[in-house]
Structure 1
Amino acid sequence: MNNPKRVRWDIWFVITLSTFALFILFFVFPVYKIFINSIYDAETKRFTLAAFEKFFARQYYTSTIWNSLKVTLLVTLLAAALGTVLAYIMRTVKIKGKGMVEIIIIITVLSPPFIGAYSWILLLGRSGVITKFINRLFDIEFNGIYGFYGILLVLTLKLFPLIYLFVSGALKNMDNSLNEAAENLGSVGLHKIVKVVIPLILPTLLAASLLVFMRALADFGTPMLIGEGYRTLPVLIYTSFVAEMGGDAAFAAAISVVVVIMTTLIFLLQKYISNRSTVEMSALRPMEPEPAKGAKNIISHLVVYLVVLLAAIPQAVVIFTSFLKTNGRIFTSGFSFDSYIHAFSKMGSAITNTYLFSFTAILIILVIGTLIAYISVRKKNVITETLDTLTMIPYIIPGSVLGIALLAAFNKKPLLLSGSAFIIIAVYVIRRLPYTIRSSSAILRQINPSVEEAAQSLGASPFKTFRKVTLPMMVPGIVSGALMSWMTVISELSASIILYVGTTRTLTISIYTEVIRGNYGVAAALSAILSATTVIALLLFFKITGKKEIQL
């Protein structure tokens, strides 16, 4: 009897070692360099903890940890409450236009967070439309949403759809007979939700909440654009690295180490909770939305439409303002295509780079992700299991940290990659590979191994069996995962803003820099192009998979 843990020397073992070596080179080694740089003084050539002492000795720096935790905890709580309420209403009440509502929610998940920040600046910034209206109406001096509350608003509206998607899936798998049994025992309304529904979906809710927490903790663009002095860890890492790259790179590395330790602990907590509190549900009679009457129907529709409207505002604002006339920094009356003309004439290379880099990254992700998924499911041993875990870790590490890690590792010969397109593509592949791996693994587990055994019994080699039999059956999962990877690649900012040079500028970097400069018309045009790309990719995803939902 074959031991599944035993290592067998064949072509799959060579592939395993090759992919493992790639991850050691482009992930393990860069992270190792960050740890070394944080404790090594290049001038004295001695190991020291001076960088950590500098960070922990001054409240100016340590308060950033509390700032990050405060905003992420509140964002997580608000997003969890908002997403759960919305999911429950959508799953139990028949809402008019439900299909469009869910598409808007999914687009909100996939759009870059900093576009939301930019849109709210146009509405509630110091010169925003709503800000001016409030000041005139109430004769006050409202200075906009900058700072803590602005970050809270933008990230909550950006991330609550994650909770919605996870909780909606859990409710879909919940058998309606449980609700009926609770009602027969006198548990109705809020009491039923608290005592029956919430405990059943709690594992999913906790896992989704931890995912929201990690995304909020790692976000760079939102606090950078509207924080105005409210420092979070990703912003501190970026500003420290940019300001001190020539003199004290160890300090930026030390902050990165602190963040890596924090995110790793959160990741381990997530795995612990998932393993301890998983509830298996099989819905023989799934919950179905039913028409509501009276106040319940009105309130349900108002809640859903209001929440979705707030979530959709950023997309609507960028599209609308992209067609407004502008004199550079200020929108004037009337409509024109000037912003698009300027965007293509001045930022054309950034648009080209975005598609070139992202498509190249996806081709690499397709190959590596498919191979890792296959060996982790079909060729289980200690190496493949380690590789499977290793490929998930970049998903939880902030992009700014990974960007600095790659620069630390590949800033000198013989591996001088800094400033090249290759290093941008490498960070895309490392960060977004998990989507394709998980999607490919999921569909592979649905394929009976006996199909492959039958092919091999007829004389086909293991690798030929994979190419001719297994791979074609995996295509739907591979393509859907690749599309998800691509939609997140094109919105990448935090890592690429560390790694880019003038010739490797992308759409997200251009949008960010134009917002910083106050060129809102061009920023709106570039944002509209990015949003349109996301929508087209999403519609393609729906067409290929034949479904109107995504798994994150």
Structure 2
Amino acid sequence: MIFLAYPLFTLLLKSFFDGKSGDFSFAYFQKFFSKQYYFNALFNSIKVTISVTLLSILIAGPLAYIMTTVKIKGGNFIKILILISSMSAPFIGAYSWILLLGRNGVITNFVRDVFGFTMPDVYGFTGIVLVLTLQLSPLIFMFVSGALKNVDNSLMEAAESMNCTGIRKMWKVLVPLITPTILAGGLLVFMRALADFGTPMLIGEGYKTIPVLIFTEFISEVGGDDGFAAAISVLVVIFATAVFLLQKYVSNRKSFTMSALNPIEPKQKKGLSNIVLHGIVYLYTAIALMPQLYVMYTSFLKTSGRIFVKGYSFDSYRQAFSKIGDSIYNTFLLAGISIILIIVIAMLIAYVTVKRKSALTNVLDVFTMFPYIVPGSILGIALLVSFNQKPMLFSGTMIIMVVAFVIRRLPYTIRSSAAVLHQVNDSIEEASISLGASTMRTFYKITLPMMISGVIAGAIISWITIITELSTSIILYTGRTKTMTVAIYTEVIRGNYGVAAALSTILTIITVLSLLLFFKLSGKKEVTM
């Protein structure tokens, strides 16, 4: 209530009061809707988010179906690679595509020199959609893969027995069954695309989206107007909430209860179809991983000032550790403190919402999902506006960064913990209490050990999303609290690509190690939702 409800309420109030006179006014909203420049930013964001969501579903849905129904060589390894491609910060993908498809990019120069053809550059709407689609489609892949495992193959066989085969079977039988899952994944992609700041900032080139507009209005060289930024933020939250409620309504209308007694098993294909399906999977994986692999490659190139030259060296890494070493330390420190708090809070919230159901805990359950639909830049502004004076003067401190990370990434651990608790029978706890154990002792000795796998799994996903967070950090950081993502972003803006590549590689390695730890501790070979 203190760190989420209060800041958002403060933001709402600020949007309705004139910054100079202090009087109640709709002036900020009138300003937004009266100028085409501001309204275009909202239209651009909607256009980007809808395009990215639809493309992600169209690409990742069939890909998940292929991987579930067809035996693909190295299938489990491919799934891990697809997951890794989604776990880096989106703006790192934007930066790497600048190196590949920018006006002086490697692929651009190659096509021009060899074929005499000038490719369209990666900047603007097309580039933003390309980067975010490749970054976010693995989320749809994970959602749909998890849903397909719960579909009973008998339904598919029954459809085939009635001569419903191929695309028609998939469209008439399978798609309706997994529609709620597709909508849930689509909502997450939609919200992530709507909230992304780094990608349009790096490659938008005049194609301004709402997160960029809010940032520039709030932190302006000619005097930012936090009241106007608050008004824009309120409009975005209302829009995001409407999309969230629509998704929930449609999902509830289309939901099915399934018990996969005869789950879908991957089958070996032969001939041309087998080659084509393998080619599709491998091609998508290669394209999705190409930006990260190229960034890793450039991190070992020699640099002369800010320019890459022939030869290889560790100069970029030496500069990264000598100049920006504090950002690496800050990332681990802030993420470590945040994860400890997330684990404690998530366990308690998951427990009361699952095992102590009431009207209050139902409200709490819905409320903890709210960070999903509040873009990071908006939460950052809300926290700064709310906690910039005594007795709660947190702006510019490490505390406000930790608060933002905990609020933003808490839902991941809550959901994974609650999922495990739903499978724990109440009679186990009742047996412990009947043998004389107190409620608290039962929680620590019985319930907690049973839910710990879900807690750890969620905590690792929360950790990965914290260390790759930019949209909130860019609003809240100071010189003492700069994180790796902020350091990478600032180095890219300055054109210091070698150091940016080195930091991006370090961040990617940390992400991969975190995922391997997740697989080890959870006993899984993949992440599904």
After TM superposition, the score normalised by the length of structure 1 is 0.94
CA 1:332–1:143 in structure 2 vs 1: closer, same or farther (change >3 Å)? Answer: farther
CA shift for structure 1 position 247: 5.0
Number of the residue aligned with 1:238: 215
- Please tell me whether residue 213 in structure 1 is matched to residue 208 in structure 2: no
Q: Hey, what's the Cα distance between the residues in 2 that align with 1:299 and 1:133?
A: 27
* Residue number in structure 1 paired with 2:87: 110
Does residue 159 in structure 1 map to residue 119 in structure 2? Answer: no
- Quick check: 2:188–2:372 contact (8 Å CA) kept in 1? no
Q: Secondary structure at the match of 1:48?
A: coil
Distance 1:419 1:58 in 2: 33
Which residue in the other structure is 1:14 paired with?
none
282-291 vs 56-65, greater mean Cα deviation: 282-291
- 1:454-498, Cα deviation, whole Å (9 max, x unpaired): 221222211121112211221111111111111111111000100
Question: Residue in 2 aligned with 1:124?
Answer: 101
After TM superposition, the structure 1 stretch with the greater mean CA deviation from structure 2, 378-387 or 522-531, is 378-387
Contact between 1:214 and 1:266, CA under 8 Å: does it hold in 2? no
- Are 2:52 and 2:129, in contact at CA under 8 Å, matched by a contact in 1? yes
Give the distance between the partners of 1:418 and 1:383, measured in 2 at CA.
31
Name the residue aligned to 2:348.
371
* Match status 1:348 vs 2:330: no
Q: Distance in 2 between matches of 1:438 and 1:521?
A: 39
Trace 1:509-520 onto structure 2 (pairs within 5 A). Answer: 509-520=486-497
Partners in 2 of 1:551 and 1:254 — Cα distance?
Answer: 37
1:113 positional shift: 0.8
1:44-443 aligned within 5 A: 44-142=21-119, 144-243=121-220, 246=223, 248-443=225-420
SS, match of residue 325 in structure 1: strand
Q: 1:143 to 1:472 in 2, by over 3 A?
A: same
SS for the counterpart of 2:256 is coil
Q: Distance in 1 between matches of 2:241 and 2:492?
A: 33
Matches of 1:363 and 1:173, distance apart in 2: 33
Between the aligned partners of 2:358 and 2:260, the Cα distance in structure 1 is 34
- For 1:328 and 1:56, locate their aligned partners in 2 and report how far apart those are by CA, in whole Å: 46
**Alpha-carbon shift at residue 203 of structure 1 (Å):** 2.1
Deviations 1:317-360 (A, max 9, x none): 12111111111322111111100000000010000000000000
Code of the residue aligned with 1:305 in structure 2: it is Y
Secondary structure, aligned partner of 1:326 = strand
The answer to whether the Cα contact below 8 Å between 2:76 and 2:526 also exists between their aligned partners in 1 is no
Bigger shift: residues 425-434 or 127-136: 127-136
SS in structure 1 at match of 2:259: coil
Question: Which residue type is aligned with residue 488 of structure 2?
Answer: I
User: Would you say 1:507 and 2:484 are equivalent positions?
Assistant: yes
Aligned partners of 1:328 and 1:521 also within 8 Å: no
Counterpart of 1:306, as a letter, is: L
Give the whole-Å Cα distance in 1 for the aligned partners of 2:60 and 2:120: 29
Using the TM superposition, give the Cα deviation of residue 248 of structure 1 relative to its aligned residue in structure 2, in angstroms: 2.2
CA-to-partner distance for each residue in 1:226-272, whole Å, 9 max, x for gaps? 11110111111111111178452211111111111111111111221
Change (3 A) 1:462 1:441: same
Which of 406, 416, 438 pairs up with 1:461? 438
Contact 2:216 2:224 in 1 (8 A): no
Residue 528 of structure 1 deviates from its aligned partner by 0.5
SS of equivalent to 1:302 = helix
Q: Distance in 2 between matches of 1:265 and 1:530?
A: 35
AA aligned to 1:31 is L
**1:4 corresponds to:** none
Rounded Cα–Cα distance in structure 2 between residues aligned with 1:61 and 1:218: 17
- Are the aligned partners of 1:87 and 1:164 in contact in 2 as well (CA < 8 Å)? yes
Say if 1:207 and 1:273, in contact at 8 Å, map to a contact too.
Answer: no
> In structure 1, how many angstroms separate the alpha carbons of the residues matched to 2:39 and 2:314?
47
Amino-acid identity (%): 59
Matched, 1:525 2:524: no
Contact 2:145-2:528 within 8 A present in 1 as well: no
In structure 2, C-alpha distance between the alignment counterparts of 1:246 and 1:360, rounded to whole Å: 34
1:462-481 alignment runs, 5 A limit: 462-481=439-458
Cα deviation, residue 47, structure 1: 1.1
More displaced stretch, 269-278 vs 521-530: 269-278
CA contact under 8 A between 2:179 and 2:251: conserved in structure 1?
Answer: no
Q: Distance in 1 between matches of 2:290 and 2:361?
A: 44
What's the counterpart of residue 546 of structure 1?
A: 523
- Paired with 2:226 and 2:297, the residues of 1 have a C-alpha distance of 42
* Paired position in structure 2 for 1:19: none
Number of the residue aligned with 2:514:
537
The C-alpha deviation readout for 1:167-211, integer Å capped at 9, x for no partner, is: 111211111122222222222222222222222222221221222
For normalisation by structure 2, the TM-score amounts to 0.98
Q: Residues of 2 paired with 1:383 and 1:532: CA distance?
A: 42
- The letter of the residue matching 1:67 is N
**1:180 maps to amino acid:** E
CA–CA distance in structure 2, aligned partners of residues 418 and 308 of structure 1: 42
Does the C-alpha gap of structure 1 residues 378 and 245 become closer, same or farther in structure 2, counting only changes over 3 Å? farther
> How many angstroms apart in 2 are the aligned matches of 1:183 and 1:409?
60
- How far apart, CA to CA, are the structure 1 residues paired with 2:434 and 2:172? 54
Residue 142 (structure 1) shift? 4.2
Q: CA-atom RMSD, angstroms?
A: 1.3
- Partner of residue 20, structure 1: none
1:40 corresponds in structure 2 to 17
Q: Say which SS state the counterpart of residue 502 (structure 1) adopts.
A: coil
**Unmatched tracts of structure 1, length 5 or more:** 1-23
The 1:475–1:95 alpha-carbon spacing in structure 2 relative to 1, beyond 3 Å, is same
Distance 1:412 1:391 in 2: 26
Return 5+ residue gaps in structure 2 as ranges: none
Tell me the distance in 2 between the aligned counterparts of 1:316 and 1:42. 48
Distance 1:382 1:279 in 2: 25
Q: Find the aligned partners of 1:470 and 1:211 in 2 and give their Cα distance.
A: 30
